[in-house]
Every structure is written in structure tokens, then in C-alpha cells.
Amino acid sequence: MTGKLFIKTFGCQMNEYDSSRIADLLNESHGLEQTEDPSGADVLLLNTCSVREKAEEKVFSQLGRWRRWKEDRPDLVIGVGGCVASQEGEQILRRAPYVDVIFGPQTYHRLPQLYDQVLNERKPRVDVSFPEIEKFDCLPPPRVKGPRAFVSVMEGCSKYCSFCVVPYTRGEEFSRPFDDVITEVFELGCGGVKEVTLLGQNVNAYQGTRHDGTRADFADLIRYVAAVEGIDRVRYTTSHPVDFSQRLVEVYGQVPELVSHVHLPVQSGSNRILSQMKRQYTTAEYEDIVDRLRGYRPDLSLSSDFIVGFPGETDNDFEQTIDLIHRVGFDQSFSFIYSARPGTPAAQLPDPVPASLKQERLARLQETIRSIAASISQAMIGSQQRVLVDGYSRKNPRQLSGRTENNRVINFPGPSDLLGSFVDVFVCEAFTNSLRGSLATEDTASAMIPMVQSSSTCSPD
């Protein structure tokens, strides 16, 4: 059987990862090829997120558009997955009875069977249960698409922050077996992958069982992943401050493949708000982790998540967040206005902060981080950066593009046979969203293929 599959993904990297695994799975089971054009697809899937905003509204307005296509093509199969599906389950069918499949973040591995049932019986199927680890045993090995890959190592969350739906939609924390993760990384390395990003809602809460029954923590996992042949760069996201053990801090002194960049969500700089959020740490504890990390890596860059306008956040609370941002020097962070999520404890709290004030605070916070990020980029000018070349510059396809350790896109002239390898690049110029540079090694520069610019000095795009 063949056909085309279109997946629209809302939300975080976890959802992007799930969508790519769904595409691999349905390709293997039913030969479905992924397409970027929904109008030509036979199967339309929405992978939803309910962490923020009016997620349900977005889902139903998208489904409304697809409904018209289904009226013209009744064979079209429409599915809804992810956190909204997990929360709403069968309720989705009340408002959108033309949906064929509803699946949760922990049941997408059952899609081939659900799809068959829909094709054979032509009635909607719903499976939003939490069968946990079974999922990974049922997924095909990930397809290698370039030198970078994501590997999910743990799922779910048991922290129950007062504002967040994730523990309810994705279930409690559980870790994949240690040997399974290492095998997957090994296979990726054999396929030419050089950089892996270990993924999890709280990835550093990882506690995987080894074949001999002993437990490996996240520090062990990083050491073993970095030792896999071919893997030269290791990242992870998202980590939680309460799971940031001293063993994990020490890995920064032991594993050079681990990048000097950490995404460590802090949410607020006010201890009063942190306690109401049930984050389980204080700003002093957070900064202590940062200090210890910088003891091993003075150049460490830190990004974070912030929530602005949590119920009852005062000017003083907000100022403390701005102060923390300056003290830590956060780089390129994710910040959002608090949005009350149905079923979470914080949704019951009185919220006297006017929406306009929340907007103002968000703009100020983002401007503060933007200007710190800009000065970090400026300070990189003249430095030499290790870059994994993963494609061509978006603006100038005659130039190569890659990422620095601190996650900045850098474009530079160079021969296309460098694609997929690490190179050293001098940073020449810093822009808002990218850097421009030139290859650092004389040898590489002189070996350039004439088709692409062959200057080793900085030159305009």
C-alpha cells in the first residue's frame, strides 16, 4: 500500500520528535510517504500541544478546514494526536465526528493497527491510554536524516508544577532502558550521525535499567553516549533544576563532547512565585548549579524558559526576574505569558494582573534577553568556533551553514564536501539571528572547490 502522509505539529521539540517517529512508523507499516502538501495527502494528522494558549481552538479550526476536503474525498483519513487528544479523548468526536483516529503521546506506536481498523471498519478509533515503555519496543529504528539526530531517553513528568498540564497529558516520568538508548545511538553513529540531542521533558531525571538490572543515571548515560564511535557532540533538552545532580555537573569536566550550553528552565526570579509554581527550588539553588557548571566551563551559555504574569505576580516579583536574567546572563530563551490550563491547580488562583501589564512585562523581559544574546554574539566575533556543517545558508545557498556549540547558526563560504563534518570557523560578523564566518584552517580553505566562494577572509553574503 502507498499513499501520502501530512503531519501538522504544534508545540515543543518533543512533539517534533514524535511526529518524525510517526512518519517513520507509517512509512514502514503502510509505505506512506511524508508530504509538505496537505491537499495531496491521503492521511492528515494533527500532533497537538496543550501547554499554552487556546490549543483546542487551534485544533478545531484546523480540523474545520480539513472537514471540507473530506466531504469531497471521503476516503481521506484524519487523525488527532498529542496532548490535546490525550486531554479531550472521545470529546473530540462530539465536535468533529469526521475525525477517524484519536491517539495520545504514549500510543502513537499503535497507529498502524488503528489505521488498519479505520480502513477496514470505517468507524473512528480512540486510544489515549498510557502503556508507557511498550511504545519504544514497537517503533522502527529512526531514519538518519543528516548529521544531527534526536533520541528520546525519557518521557512524561512527575513534577506537577502548579501551572502545567504535561503530567496529566503525557503521564509520569519513565525512562527507556539504558542498553536500548545506547544501541539506538550506536546505529545512528553507524549511519553518519555526529551530533545527538538527548530528549525528555526532564531529561536529567533519567534512571534507566541496564541489562544486569543496575540503574544508570543521566551522568552515566552522557558518558556512554559520548563514547559511541562517530558521536562527537552531545546536547540534551529539557533539564530540570531539581534533577541537576553534582554527578551531572562533574560530567562537564570529563566529557568534551558535551556542549558548553545548557537549557535549564527557571520560570521566575522570585522565590515567592517559584514556591507558588511548585518548582521545588529557590533562585539561590538555581544560581548555585550555574556557578558549579561554570567552574568546569567558564564559557557555558545558558538558555531558559520563563513564565511572565503568573497569577498575582507583582512588579517586585517581576523585577527580581529581570535581576536574575542579568546575574546569570541568559542567552536566547523561551518566554511566554502565563496561560491558565484547565485542570491545573494554578488555574484556581485569583489573577488580578491586567493583560496589558503582562504584555509589557513580556516585552521587557524579551528585550533584556535579546540584548544579552546580542552582546554574547558580538563577543564571539574574532573567536574560533567548532561548527557541525548541516546544510546551506538559507539566504545564500552558495554558502555553508552550521551551528556553534551555543546553538547559533553560522554561515560561511566553503566546499560542499564539508557537509556533515565538523570544521573550525572564525566568526566575522554577528546579526540578530545568525553569525557570519570563514573557515579557520588554511588547508581546508585552499582545498575549496571552485564552485563555491574560495575566500578564507570574511566577505559579504
336 binds, among ligand F3S, ligand SAM, none (CB under 5 to 8 A by kind): ligand SAM
List 12, 157, 188, 387, residue binding ligand F3S (CB under 6 A): 157
Q: Which is nearer to ligand SAM, 287 or 305 (CB)?
A: 305
Identify which of residues 202 and 270 has a Cβ nearer to ligand SAM in the complex: 202
| In the complex, minimum distance from the CB of residue 166 to ligand F3S, in angstroms, rounded to a whole number | 4
Contact partner, 167, from ligand SAM, ligand F3S, none, Cβ < 5-8 Å per class = ligand F3S
Least CB distance from residue 310 to ligand F3S, whole Å? 12
Instruction: Find the shortest distance in angstroms from Cβ 332 to ligand F3S.
Output: 19
Residue whose C-alpha is closest to residue 21's, from 136, 164, 119 = 136
Nearest distance in Å: CB 367, ligand F3S: 24
| Residues near ligand F3S (CB under 6 A), total | 10
Q: Is position 92 an interface residue for ligand F3S (rule: CB under 6 A)?
A: no
202 touching ligand F3S, by CB under 6 A: yes
Give min distance, CB of 204 to ligand SAM, in A: 9
What's the closest the beta carbon of residue 334 comes to ligand F3S, in angstroms?
Answer: 12
CB 124 within 8 A of CB 118: yes
Residue corresponding to grid cell 500510543: 107
Please give the residue ranges that form the binding site for ligand SAM (CB under 6 A).
12, 51-52, 163-164, 166, 201-202, 238, 240, 265, 267, 305, 307, 336, 338-339, 341
Cell of 191: 549511519
Candidates 111, 164, 196, 302; binder of ligand F3S (CB under 6 A) is 164
Instruction: Name which of 168, 173, 203, 164 is nearest 51 in CA terms.
Output: 164
Minimum distance from residue 116 beta carbon to ligand SAM (Å): 32
The 10 Å CB-count burial string (b at 16+, else e) for 93-116 is beebeebbbbbbbbbbbbbeebbe
Q: Which three cell numbers stand for residue 450?
A: 571552485
Among 109, 194, 235, 240, indicate the residue that binds ligand F3S (CB under 6 A).
Answer: 240
Distance, CA of 187 to CA of 141 (rounded, Å): 8
C-beta of 351: minimal distance to ligand SAM in Å? 12
Q: Does 167 bind ligand F3S (CB under 6 A)?
A: yes
With binding defined as CB under 6 A, does residue 201 bind ligand F3S?
Answer: yes
Stretch that binds ligand F3S, among 94-102, 163-171, 314-322, 360-368 (CB under 6 A): 163-171
| Separation of alpha carbons 389 and 336, rounded Å | 31
Nearer Cβ to ligand F3S (110/159): 159
Do 349 and 320 touch, CB atoms closer than 8 A? no
Residue 270: contacted member of ligand SAM, ligand F3S, none (CB under 5 to 8 Å, by partner type): none
Binding partner of residue 230 among ligand SAM, ligand F3S, none, CB cut-off 5 to 8 Å per kind: none
Closest CB to ligand SAM among residues 16, 305:
305
* Binds 339: which of ligand F3S, ligand SAM, none (CB < 5-8 Å by kind): ligand SAM
In angstroms, what is the minimal distance from the CB of 344 to ligand SAM?
Answer: 7
147 vs 200, which CB is nearer to ligand F3S?
Answer: 200
Quote the least distance from Cβ 167 to ligand F3S, whole Å: 5
Which value, to the nearest 10 degrees, does the dihedral of the CA atoms of residues 265, 410, 391, 201 take?
0
Is 341 an interacting residue with respect to ligand F3S (CB under 6 A)?
Answer: no
Selected binder of ligand F3S within 22, 59, 161, 439 (CB under 6 A): 161
Q: Decide the pairing of beta strands 43-48 and 77-81.
A: parallel
> Is 159 among the residues that bind ligand F3S (CB under 6 A)?
yes
Count other C-beta atoms under 10 Å from residue 51's C-beta: 18
Cβ of residue 93: shortest distance to ligand SAM, in angstroms?
Answer: 26
Interface with ligand F3S by CB under 6 A: which residues? 157, 159-161, 164, 166-167, 201-202, 240
